[in-house]
Chains A and B, each alone.
Chain A
Amino acid sequence: MTTAAGTPTDRSVLPVTERYTLLGWLRRNLFSDLFNSLLTIVAVASIFIVARLILRWAFNTAEWGVIPANFNLIMRGQYPAIEAWRLWLVIYLLGTTVGLVWRLIVGQFNTTARILVAIPLVLMLIPFFSMGTRLYLMITAVASFAGYFIAGYLPIQHRGRAASYFVMAYLVVMLILLRGAGADDGPMPPVQPILWGGLLLSLLLAFFGITLSFPLGVLLALGRQSKLPAIRVMSVIYIEFIRGVPLISLLFMGQIMLQLFLPDGFPLVDRVLRALVAITLFSAAYTAENVRGGLQSIPRGQYEAAQAVGLSTYQSTIHIILPQALRAVIPVLVGQFISLFKDTTLVALVGIFDLLGIARTIIANPDWLGTQQEVFAVIAVLFWIFSYTMSFASRRLERRLGVGQR
């Protein structure tokens, strides 16, 4: 057997020179027998063909002009250009908040922190960026540094609690900045959510989808595990119903029917909010199933011990069971976040201009006819970068928590 994990070559048997040389490595991993050598040749040939196809397309056929010309659209959709400073402020504050929280929780300026700070600096190298954009990116990096150093001088007792307050404050400020307030000709005129778009909207939908669905999902998971039959049955029905239908049907239903359910004269709910409601309800069912996995992994002894020391059901759930159950499913929840991030593309089908929706408007523009391949390639790469980074981070987290070891 050469495939499916055959017996590995015992390293200690090989002569020293073959153990560590390139030739030895090649022989072990690529040419151990005839079949393996044939596989290697086929693999090299297919890599060559695919790589040539892609490189030829990227350097000869593709018309990349469409990307710089529509870059702002891809990033922020129809968000008014004159209000773009608010988005930058949101990004600076994000940098500062990350810096603050990093100091409070991680406490040291390690490799991951360096990579995080490097991101805006590396983005400065993108060739078609204007000098202004580069300056703003530089300010972002400086802001995150500032956050990190300021946090060192703050007289803070409970670091964890302070960090969560900072994050919550940031979220409130961010929403106020994005949404705007006051008169239309004031300093910060309101911007309707339907104008938010592109990458901005994709990230916001995913973030708020998962944050809002999390408490609901935990409640549903507890409900499904509950000893009380009425609560259990209702939780099971909800979870199985949502998991049995496609997200797209829920999104359409949200767009068409949400307004029907509300009383006459109720103000029209924004399109984006309607989509967010559908995404949240959808995601909650999946969160519930993931959390249930964690709840089931808690040994019975924990429940019994909690009862023995006189904790009520509520107390033991909050202080004993949930903390352990949630820690066990962190990697699964990250996985769910990634798939939710990918699933937000579906809102493009109900007339919302997220990253994919914006891509569809760009290729429909007569100026950029026939650029489907270029635009979709860039969109796919953007999604890929975000999802892959998250799954990479979750794998490292998994190793640190030792979840897979048990």
Chain B
Amino acid sequence: MQNIHASQVRPPFYRDERVLGVFSQILVVVIVLGLGLFFFNNMITGLREKHSVAITFSFLTQTAGFDIGESLIEYSRERTYLRAFVVGLLNTFQVAVLGIIFATALGILIGVMRLSTNFLVSKIAAVYIDIFRNIPLLVLLIFWAQGVFLKLPRVADAIVLADAFYLSNRGVAIPWGLPTDSWGTYLIVLAAGFIAGAVLAYFLREHGKRTGRMPLVTLWFIVTVAAVGLIGWIVLPQPMTLDVPTLEGFNTQGGKILSQQFMALLSGLIIYTAAFIAEVVRAGIQSVSKGQREAATALGLTAAQTLRLIIFPQALRVIIPPLTSQYLNLTKNSSLAIAIGYPDLFAVAGNTILNQTGREIEMFTMIMGTYLSLSLLTSFLMNIYNRRIRLVER
């Protein structure tokens, strides 16, 4: 009889976890690659029948030949498809950035209202959140575009607010700054103000580290920049004049006209996203344990100091990750612009250009690549920020 040690008994290869692991990986890779190749082949065969060249981006330099309602850069129908794509991209940026700023402001307001000790204020916030979180954004957007902005009076009978804002079914005309000759000089002055503020903030922070009494660095920075900006404004001969729209016949003159589609998209996105941000903010503030507040009070901190030094830094840590995903959602949701006729990236590239050129693969690669890099970039930046403010543990 031979003695068999337990360590010598090896499972048969078909029950060895390592062998199984390698084998299953190879199997999955082969299946996925095989399917991918199958789809790709079918696609290339199909495209060959349609176009002379299966996949090419050369059409991007051809003349677009269509107009775009609004654009941040100069554009006309004689420009190329690539230029049209960039116009759409910038429009998406514009709506996303403005939407994020306003939605954050409104969301924080409603989130704080939700936590108010005042019964009515808290209930108003709760009703707002419950209503807008449970209605599809697309329904809200179309309602907003067709049921509200389109139903505004004609330009001739526009609703006028404070003699400067004209609300009509063509959009909203608002006062807008017109730069004069000295605008360039003023920008240099402002830049100098920023540098001065940054230098001051650096020395204040160093001073605070030495003495252990941190001054209000951010406040001093803002005050410095504002002071320099104000002095420059007074000294220089009017760097910018205010262009107030006026009603002339059947149209408004001057100012800046925010189109009906843009306003509908922006306000829909803000109202919808703010409801979600409000919940994020509420959860963040509530996550700070009661003991922290009590400890701060016991140490003799004022209410404002408690909020600034104790509650906020800790709440922020909970708020940032879900807030990031809300920002990303807003950016992705701005692609619903196609439903109300605002020429954003998706409407221009995925609809107009695609229909004109018939280049599905190329356009979808570009669109999805753009959104994907936007998402990855945002999460990357937010991860850096998140790492900076996260809890440092032993």
Contact = CB atoms under 8 A, between A and B. Distances in A.
Do A and B come together as binding partners?
Answer: yes
B371 A245 contact: yes
Contacts of A253: 360, 364
A360 interface: yes
Nearest to A256: B360
B101 to A, nearest CB: 21
Interface in A342-399: 342-343, 345-346, 348-349, 356, 359-360, 363, 372-373, 376-377, 379-380, 383-384, 387-388, 391
Contact of B39 (A29, A246, A261, A348): A261
A313 B117 contact: no
A252 interface: yes
A55 interface: no
A132 interface: no
Given A43-B124, A257-B364, A260-B43, A348 B138 contact: yes
Contacts of B311: 4
Interface string B15-54: 0010001001110110010000011001101110000000
Nearest to A232: B25
B303 A36 contact: no
Nearest to A42: B121
A5 B115 CA distance: 6
A264 interface: yes
Given A372-B146, A373-B147, A5 B117 contact: yes
A8 B134 contact: no
Contacts of A245: 332, 367-368, 371-372, 375
Contacts of B39: 261-262
Q: Which of A46, A47, A246, A360 has the most CB of B within 10 A?
A: A246
B336 A248 contact: yes
B117 A43 contact: no
Given A3-B113, A313-B17, A383-B134, A40 B371 contact: no
A65 to B, nearest CB: 17
B335 A246 contact: yes
A284 B269 CA distance: 25
Nearest to A259: B46
Interface in B96-126: 112-113, 115-121, 124
Contact of A4 (B17, B42, B47, B112): B112
Contacts of A345: 136, 138-139
Contacts of B346: 246, 248-249
A241 B372 contact: yes
Contacts of A376: 139, 142-143, 146-147
B308 interface: no
B143 A377 contact: yes
Given A47-B120, A342-B137, A228 B25 contact: yes
A1 interface: yes
A249 B360 contact: no
Nearest to B111: A4
Contact of A260 (B47, B146, B339): B47
A322 B343 CA distance: 45
A81 B338 CA distance: 33
Given A231-B24, A383-B134, A244 B376 contact: yes
B207 interface: no
Nearest to A349: B339
A244 B375 contact: yes
Contact of B134 (A241, A312, A384): A384
A44 interface: yes
A370 to B, nearest CB: 8
Q: Which of B39, B118, B121, B142 has the most CB of A within 10 A?
A: B118
A260 B47 CA distance: 8
Given A47-B124, A372-B146, A342 B135 contact: yes
Given A4-B285, A356-B136, A384-B134, A39 B121 contact: yes
B116 to A, nearest CB: 5
A349 B341 CA distance: 12
B285 A383 contact: no
Contact of B360 (A44, A257, A342, A363): A257
Nearest to B339: A349
B295 interface: no
A286 B386 CA distance: 22
Q: Which of B116, B307, B374 has the most CB of A within 10 A?
A: B116
Contacts of B120: 30, 39-40, 43-44, 47
Nearest to B315: A4
A253 B346 CA distance: 12
Interface in A219-267: 227-231, 234, 240-241, 243-249, 252-253, 256-257, 260-264
A2 interface: yes
A15 interface: no
A260 B139 contact: no
Contact of A264 (B42, B285, B286, B360): B42
Interface string A21-38: 000000001101000100
Contact of B117 (A29, A312, A360, A383): A29
A227 B360 CA distance: 37
A366 B42 CA distance: 44
A228 B24 contact: yes
A241 B21 CA distance: 25
Contact of A342 (B26, B118, B131, B136): B136
A100 B336 CA distance: 42
A240 B361 CA distance: 20
Nearest to B311: A4
B336 A249 contact: no
B117 A380 contact: no
Contact of B135 (A227, A262, A383): A383
A338 interface: yes
A244 B372 contact: yes
Contact of B335 (A248, A342, A379, A387): A248
24 contacts: A1-B307, A4-B307, A5-B285, A6-B117, A29-B117, A30-B118, A39-B116, A39-B120, A46-B124, A47-B120, A228-B24, A234-B28, A244-B368, A244-B371, A244-B376, A246-B335, A261-B42, A348-B138, A363-B146, A372-B150, A372-B151, A377-B147, A380-B136, A387-B134
Given A338-B134, A383-B135, 13 more contacts: A3-B117, A231-B25, A244-B375, A249-B346, A253-B360, A260-B42, A262-B42, A342-B135, A345-B138, A349-B138, A372-B147, A380-B143, A384-B131
Q: Which 4 A-B pairs have the closest CB atoms?
A: A387-B134, A244-B375, A29-B119, A342-B136
